[in-house]
Structure 1
């Protein structure tokens, strides 16, 4: 099989592809770069409290989804367990 320039095979062997470690962990920033990228948040815009709030929202959404799913399943079971009137 011949790889044409610009094809997927030609790009997969590229030396410019980022490593898996870099994709997962990101790149290390110098102290100057960290300082330049620093910004300030108002309360509730980020940080630990924000992530706790997001986690609570995700858990609530999961709980609501499970309850609604159980109610729909119960409704379908009730509708199918009774004989259909003729």
Structure 2
């Protein structure tokens, strides 16, 4: 059992060292989610589109069935039943 843990730890360290040979640190990436402030202040259509998209994304994330909102509402409802 001692040998298995030693061999496993050595193999793990070797795999970790070999896998990190091509470590890319290029962080110069264009942020596509960040709107341009100059365009938003000069073009009312772009401002309305960005605001509408932000509001729709927020609404869909809050009221989605994959979000925990429905579960929290059910828990709050059942907890209030015990208090009232």
Structure richer in helix, relative to its length? 2
Same fold (TM over 0.5): no
